[in-house]
């Protein structure tokens, strides 16, 4: 079986500074793959490049057989790659429901869209209760739910989540992580970038540790969870 | 004060013309954060587009047939020029320093004025614009000039069409999303380059309708008509809250009313006699702008937006 996403020797630079220095990894359909690492390791840059917001300076990315480098961001979504960005970036002056509808911008199957909106409300009941409210009035955790729900509205083959637990209360963080586990159980393919390494590794089939633009360690989520150097560096143990 | 109702109507008419042009400033600003200083000249070329259609039509064509064709001609000319400037002047500068497109806009503004002056036959002086025959109309003590009937109809219809477009259509929602967060809009599958073109085109179309209204109202067009009117429309956009399309119309109406009422009545205030008359109209318009910038810088309908971290 060929991988859904194949990243090969990807290099991304901001001006002269290389933020991603040649990384390679794959994501298979049905898998949860996580990238962990400290701030500035290049995780967010990697996701922004995959979704087309940044242009790589080198390397290849193949998604579902298509070379992504040739396409602009708005085209890449239509291939089935959805990106829930770091910092959530919901549309603050639009209602929750309109935010979800924008997630389905490229779809024209009205009944399917209504069904998926309902599905998002089932997944996150609080969003259903507040559907007519401006999204900017939601709490951070609720905005995160909306950002995830919105990304799912495009019926993606691969869902990329960038720091879904950032800035959330412990309870909210648990809730978000439980939802990701639920999505995984439903068979959603997920590429997860997380600072909460413990939670991310427990969920992940494959995991990669990034340090200053490079992948320094790869393995199954469970292996890395028990790896001594990972425990020291990212799980706060001595 | 028994001329008050008349002056109110005059102010609203003038204001709705400002509003039609202000829409272009506010939409483009809302999406690309560019003050398109060439927009006044886009308006002007619309006026010349309409005049050209009139001159091409065989003599004796009734205004009922000519006017729709003139509007179409105005819209085609203005939209073509606006979209062309976006494509070839502004787009290559996107992502660069903010000052570059602003200076470019001023350059385009001058270039368009000079191009019309140099190449449009007879445009070195004002050219007569056709009139709608009949009228004027009287409603009690109020007189409405025939040319203004067009404005009276076109402005509300334009506003309704725009409101429907932005709120209800797919492209309109894509436009709102792009205005709020362009990168995330791309992640939704919105082609933001196309949205920007649509914003320029729509703004130009409404400016062109405003230019036809201008021609009918004043009976002439000239290569400099976009300068002061552009400034006023920009003022209207700021007044209403730049970026807000309803604000543009409200700002236009407020500006038109303030200017007209001040011009008509300020000389009645004891001690202010020498400030009356049409020559002071622009002063009152810009005094209003200064007051709004001092006391409500976000404009009448604008919201105070904190800079994002």
* Complex ipTM: 0.94
Residues of A near B (CB-CB distance < 8 A)? Answer: 51-53, 72-75, 77-78, 82-83, 85, 89, 91-94, 98, 101-103, 105-106, 150-151, 154
Q: What would the pLDDT profile of B117-146 be if each residue is shown by its tens digit?
A: 999 999 999 999 999 888 788 888 899 999
Domain ranges for chain B, please list them. Answer: 4-132+141-226
Q: Tell me if B246 sits within 8 A of B163, measured CB to CB.
A: yes
Element (H, E) at A151: helix A140-152
Between chains, do B186 and A92 touch, taking CB under 8 Å as contact? no
Q: Which of B180, B190, B192 sits opposite A92 (nearest CB)?
A: B180
Distance (Å) from the alpha carbon of B104 to chain A's nearest alpha carbon: 25
Between chains, do A77 and B189 touch, taking CB under 8 Å as contact? yes
Between chains, do B191 and A101 touch, taking CB under 8 Å as contact? no
Interface-testing mutation among B168, B176, B182, B184, with chain A (most A C-beta atoms within 10 A): B184
- What is the pLDDT at residue B307? 40
| Helix locations, chain B, DSSP H | 4-32, 39-56, 63-85, 99-119, 146-168, 170-180, 182-187, 192-218, 225-240, 245-265, 281-295
Interface-testing mutation among A50, A51, A80, A91, with chain B (most B C-beta atoms within 10 A): A91
Q: Which of A85, A102, A154 sits opposite B173 (nearest CB)?
A: A102
Q: Which of B183, B188, B191 sits opposite A102 (nearest CB)?
A: B188
pLDDT band at A234 (very low <50, low <70, confident <90, very high): confident
CA neighbor of B301 nearest in space, from B240, B219, B226: B240
Average pLDDT, chain A: 94
- What is the pLDDT at residue B140? 85
CA neighbor of B16 nearest in space, from B279, B296, B259: B259
Q: Which of A83, A91, A98 sits opposite B181 (nearest CB)?
A: A91
Q: Does B307 touch chain A (CB under 8 A)?
A: no
What is the pTM assigned to this prediction? 0.91
- What is the pLDDT at residue A237? 63
CA neighbor of B126 nearest in space, from B214, B38, B22: B214
Q: Does B299 touch chain A (CB under 8 A)?
A: no
- Low-confidence stretches of chain B (pLDDT < 50) are 306-309
| Edge-first strand listing for the sheet containing A66-67 | A17-27, A5-14, A58-63, A66-67
The chain B residue lying nearest A76, using CA atoms, is B189
Q: Which of B176, B183, B189 sits opposite A78 (nearest CB)?
A: B189
Compute the distance between CA of residue B217 and CA of residue B15 in angstroms, rounded to an integer: 13
- Is residue A1's pLDDT more than 70? no
Between chains, do B192 and A82 touch, taking CB under 8 Å as contact? no
Between chains, do A89 and B192 touch, taking CB under 8 Å as contact? no
Q: Which of A72, A75, A77 sits opposite B188 (nearest CB)?
A: A77
Peptide bond preceding B136 in cis form (omega within 30 of 0): yes
CB contacts < 8 A, A to B, total 62
Between chains, do B176 and A94 touch, taking CB under 8 Å as contact? yes
Q: What would the pLDDT profile of B77-109 be if each residue is shown by its tens digit?
A: 999 999 999 999 999 999 889 899 999 999 999
pLDDT band at A238 (very low <50, low <70, confident <90, very high): low
Between chains, do A106 and B192 touch, taking CB under 8 Å as contact? no
pLDDT band at A147 (very low <50, low <70, confident <90, very high): very high
Task: Look up tokens 């400037």; give the residue.
Answer: B85
Residue A94 with chain B: CB contacts under 8 Å? 176-177, 180
Q: Tell me if B5 sits within 8 A of B202, measured CB to CB.
A: no
Q: Which of A51, A74, A93 sits opposite B190 (nearest CB)?
A: A74
Mean predicted confidence (pLDDT) in A161-182: 93
């Amino acid at each position: 079986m060929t991988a859904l996403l194949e990243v090969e020797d990807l290099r991304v630079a901001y001006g002269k500074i290389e933020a991603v220095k040649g990384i390679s990894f794959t994501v298979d359909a049905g898998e949860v793959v996580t990238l962990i690492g400290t701030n500035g390791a290049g995780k967010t840059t990697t996701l922004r490049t995959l979704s087309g917001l940044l242009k790589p300076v080198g390397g290849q990315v193949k998604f579902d057989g298509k070379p992504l480098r040739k396409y602009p961001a708005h085209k890449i979504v239509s291939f089935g790659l959805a990106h829930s960005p770091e910092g959530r970036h919901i549309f603050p002056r639009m209602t929750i429901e309109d935010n979800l509808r924008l997630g389905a911008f490229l779809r024209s199957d009205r009944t399917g869209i209504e069904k998926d909106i309902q599905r998002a409300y089932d997944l996150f009941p609080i969003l259903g209760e507040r559907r007519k409210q401006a999204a900017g009035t939601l709490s951070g955790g609720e905005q995160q739910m909306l950002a995830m729900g919105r990304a799912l509205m495009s019926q993606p083959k691969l869902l990329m989540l960038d720091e879904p637990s950032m800035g959330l209360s412990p309870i909210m963080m648990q809730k978000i992580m439980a939802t990701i586990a639920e999505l995984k159980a439903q068979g959603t393919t997920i590429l997860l970038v997380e600072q909460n390494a413990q939670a991310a590794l427990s969920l992940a089939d494959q995991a990669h540790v990034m340090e200053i633009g490079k992948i320094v360690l790869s393995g199954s989520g469970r292996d890395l969870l028990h790896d001594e150097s990972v425990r020291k560096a990212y799980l706060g143990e001595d | 004060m028994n001329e008050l109702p008349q002056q109110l109507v005059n102010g609203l008419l003038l204001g709705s013309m400002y509003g039609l042009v202000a829409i272009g400033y506010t939409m483009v600003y809302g999406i690309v954060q560019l003050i398109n200083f060439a927009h006044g000249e886009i308006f002007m070329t619309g006026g010349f587009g309409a005049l050209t259609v009139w001159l091409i039509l065989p003599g004796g064509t009734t205004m009922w047939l000519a006017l729709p064709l003139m509007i179409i001609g105005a819209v085609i000319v203005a939209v073509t020029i606006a979209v062309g400037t976006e494509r070839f002047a502004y787009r290559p500068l996107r992502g660069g320093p903010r000052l570059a497109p602003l200076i470019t806009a001023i350059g385009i503004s001058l270039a368009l004025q000079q191009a019309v002056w140099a190449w449009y036959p007879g445009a070195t002086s004002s050219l007569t614009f056709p009139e709608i025959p009949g009228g004027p109309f009287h409603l009690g003590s109020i007189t409405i000039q025939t040319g203004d009937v067009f404005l009276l109809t076109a402005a509300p219809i334009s506003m309704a069409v725009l409101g429907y477009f932005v709120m209800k259509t797919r492209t309109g929602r894509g436009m709102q999303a792009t205005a709020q967060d362009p990168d995330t809009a791309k992640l939704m599958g919105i082609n933001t380059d196309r949205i920007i073109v649509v914003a320029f085109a729509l703004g130009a179309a409404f400016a062109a309708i405003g230019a036809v209204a201008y021609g009918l109202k004043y009976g002439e067009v000239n290569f400099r008509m976009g300068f002061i009117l552009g400034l006023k429309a920009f003022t209207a956009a700021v007044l209403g809250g730049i970026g807000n399309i309803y604000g543009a119309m409200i700002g236009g109406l407020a500006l038109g009313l303030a200017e007209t009422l001040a011009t008509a009545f300020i000389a009645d205030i004891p001690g202010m006699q020498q400030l009356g008359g049409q020559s002071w109209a622009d002063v009152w318009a810009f005094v209003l702008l200064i007051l709004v910038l001092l006391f409500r810088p976000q404009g009448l309908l604008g919201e105070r937006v904190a800079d994002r971290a």
